[in-house]
Structure 1
Amino acid sequence: MTLRSRVRTLVDAAYERVLRREVGDGPDHVAIIQDGNRRYARRRGGDAPDGHRAGADTTERVLDWCADLGVEEATLYAFSTENFDRPPEELEPLFDLLEAKLREFADADRVHEQGVCIRALGDADRLPERVREAVAYAEERTADYDGFTLNIALAYGGRNELLGAVRAVARDVADGDLAVDDVGVAEVESRLYRRPVRDVDLIIRTGGDERTSNFLPWHANGNEAAAYFCSPYWPEFSKVDFLRSIRTYEAREESWRRARAKRAAALVRSLAAVEFDEARAVAARLRERLPVETSGAELDEALAEGRSTD
C-alpha cells in the first residue's frame, strides 16, 4: 500500500467515526437500488458478471452495517422486470449468481445467529426454475426468524405490481365480491406482491442516477420516504456512503417534524383566538400525534398567546 493509500484509509476511517457519532437510531426500513455493477466492470476491463459478483460482496457488507445501526428491514432491488431484456450471455451468469447467493445466505451462520428472515418480492414465476427453487429454499430455512427482514426484489416492477392490484380489485367488484365503497388502502395492499413488513423510510440509489426506477412506489412514495442518491457504483459503495445516507434521512425527518410542529402550533393559535377551550382540546390531540420534543412547547406557547388575546 502506498503512502497516499494509507493516508486515504486513515482519513476515511476517521470520517466514518465522525459520521457514526452524528447519526442516531436511523430508519427502520432501507430500500436499495444497487446500480452501477456493469459500469464498474467495464471501467475495470471486465464483463457484466464480474461487476455483479463484486456487487454481491458489497451487499453482504451492507447487511452487516444495517445490523450495526439497528435497521430492522432491508429491501434490495436485485432484478427488475426490465432486466429480462438483457442479452442471454449476461442473464444466465446473473441467474447463476442469484441462485448461489440465495442458497449461501440461507446456509450462512450469521443469518441464523441474527435471526434473518429472507423473503422474495416480485413475479417469481417469470424466473428460471433453479432460481425459484433457491428462493423457496431460502424462505423455508429462515421463515421462523424475526430478528431482521431481508426482502429481495426479483422480477419486480412497481407499475406491474400496482396494475395487478387494480385489476384484481376491479375483478372482485365486477364479480360482486367487493363493494366499490369498500375499496381502500387495505384492499389494494392485500393484492400487491408479498409486502414488506414496514413501509420504506429511506431509498438509496448508487451509480449517479437520481431516480427511483419503478421501485416500491406504494411502500416508498406513499410513505414519503427520503431518497439518497450517490455517485459510487454499487461495488464501490462504502460504509461512509451508507452513513451519509442515514444522516440525510435523519436531517429530512427532523425538518419534517419541525414543519409539522409549526403547522400544529399555527392551528392552535388560530383557534385559541376564537375559542380557547376548543383550542386546548385540539392541542391535546396533537400532542399525541406529534412525538416531537419541541411540539409541546410550541403548542403551550400558542395556547398562551391565544389566552392573552381572548
Structure 2
Amino acid sequence: MRTYLRRLADAAYERLLRAELSETPSHVAVIQDGNRRYADRQGGDAADGHRAGAQTTEQLLDWCDELGVREVTLYAFSTENFERPPEEREHLFDLITEKLREFADADRVHDAEVRIRAIGDRDRLPERVREAVDYAEARTREYDRLHLNVALAYGGRAELLGAARDIAREVAAGERDPGEVDTGAVEAALPEGPTRDVDLIVRTGGDERTSNFLPWQANGNEAAVYFCTPYWPEFRKIDFLRGIRTYQHREQSWRRTRARRALALVRALGGDAETPRARRVLRRFRDALPSGEREAVEEEVEQPAD
C-alpha cells in the first residue's frame, strides 16, 4: 500500500514539475556518481553498482528524447579512473564495451536517431573498447536528432593543457601571432568534443564538485549545476526534472541581469554610440523582467530601432 501511494505521489509531483518548466537545456552533461556506494549499501560489489547504473543511463536517454534535449555527455570513465583496482577497471571496460554495442544495435536508439560519439584520449583504452566505440560511431553516424557523447579516458585539464601546448608550438615556430590567440583559436586546438556548449551539469551521489569535466564547454557558458544526493542507480525522472528547473531559474536570472544592465546603459549613455546596441539587448530580454520593471522600461524599448 505504501509503495502504491508513493507512486501516486511521485506521478503527481512529476506532473507539477513538468507544468513549471518552460525552458529545456540544449546540452546536459552528467557525472554519474555513486555506483559503488550504492552497491556497497545493497551488499553487492562494484560490478553490481555499475550495471545498475547502466540501466539508469538508458532511462536518461528516454527522458532527454522526450523533453527535447539535443545533446547529452556522460562522464563514463575519467583519466583518474585508471587508478582504480585492475579488477574493477576491467569490469568497467567490459561493461562499456557491452553497452556501446548494445546501444548501437538497439531499435530505440535508431528510432530516436541518436548519434553516439566518444570523447577523450581513446588511445589509452583497451582494444575491445576502441573497437566498440568505432562500431557505435559507424552505426549512428548519419543521425542528428540527439547527440550522445561518452567521455572515456577523459580529463578536462589535460585537454586544455594539450591545446595550450599546440598553440605555444605554433607561436614558437612563427606560425601564429600571439595577439591572434583568442577563444576561437583555443576551441580549434581542442580535440573534437561536444557540438554545443554545456547548459546544465548534473552530478549525483552527494558530492558538490564538477571533477574536471568539460571545463571549457561548461564554465565558458556559465552552465547551471545541479547536485543531488541519490546515487546514480537511484536517480529518477523527478530528479532530472529538478535539475532542469535549476537550469531554468538560472537562465531566467541571467536574462533579467542582461535586461537590467542594458537599461542602465540606455539611461546612462544617452546619445552615446553604444546606446543602440544596449537598446537592442533591452528589447530582446525585457520579457524576463518582473511586470513592474517591464512597464517602467516600455518607453525606452519603444524608441525607434537604430
- TM bracket (short chain): over 0.9
CA distance change for structure 1 residues 156 and 292 in 2, over 3 Å: closer, same or farther? farther
2:276 is matched with which residue?
A: 281
SS of 1:74's equivalent in the other structure is: strand
Contact 1:32-1:204 within 8 A present in 2 as well: yes
1:175 is matched with which residue?
A: 173
2:149 is matched with which residue?
A: 151
1:267 is matched with which residue?
A: 265
Q: Which amino acid aligns with 1:118?
A: I
2:134 is matched with which residue?
A: 136
- 1:257-306: CA deviations, max 9, x gaps? 1111111111111123xx3x757634443246x344256755434479xx
Give 5+ residue unaligned stretches, structure 2.
Answer: none
CA distance in 2, matches of 1:112, 1:292: 41
| Identity across the alignment (%) | 65
1:123 is matched with which residue?
A: 121
Give 5+ residue unaligned stretches, structure 1.
Answer: 305-310
CA distance change for structure 1 residues 213 and 267 in 2, over 3 Å: closer, same or farther? same
Q: Which amino acid aligns with 1:69?
A: L
Contact 1:202-1:249 within 8 A present in 2 as well: yes
CA distance change for structure 1 residues 154 and 99 in 2, over 3 Å: closer, same or farther? same
Shift of 1:170: 0.8
CA distance in 2, matches of 1:187, 1:90: 39
SS of 1:199's equivalent in the other structure is: coil
1:250 aligns to 2:248 (yes or no): yes
1:221 to 203, 216, 219: 219
CA distance in 1, matches of 2:256, 2:296: 10
SS of 2:7's equivalent in the other structure is: helix
2:68 is matched with which residue?
A: 70
How many residues were matched structurally? Answer: 299
1:51 is matched with which residue?
A: 49
TM-score, structure 1 as length reference: 0.92
Q: Structure 1 stretches (4+) deviating beyond 6 angstroms? A: none
1:88 is matched with which residue?
A: 86
Contact 2:119-2:151 within 8 A present in 1 as well: yes
Shift of 1:7: 1.0
Tell me whether 170-179 or 139-148 shows the greater mean CA deviation.
Answer: 170-179
SS of 1:155's equivalent in the other structure is: strand
2:287 is matched with which residue?
A: 293
CA distance in 1, matches of 2:23, 2:288: 19
1:200 is matched with which residue?
A: 198
Q: Which amino acid aligns with 1:261?
A: A
CA distance in 1, matches of 2:34, 2:156: 20
Two-structure CA RMSD over aligned residues (Å) = 1.9
CA distance change for structure 1 residues 123 and 35 in 2, over 3 Å: closer, same or farther? same
1:36 aligns to 2:31 (yes or no): no
Tell me whether 251-260 or 44-53 shows the greater mean CA deviation.
Answer: 251-260
1:307 is matched with which residue?
A: none
TM-score, structure 2 as length reference: 0.93
Contact 1:283-1:299 within 8 A present in 2 as well: no
Contact 2:28-2:202 within 8 A present in 1 as well: yes
CA distance in 1, matches of 2:231, 2:275: 53
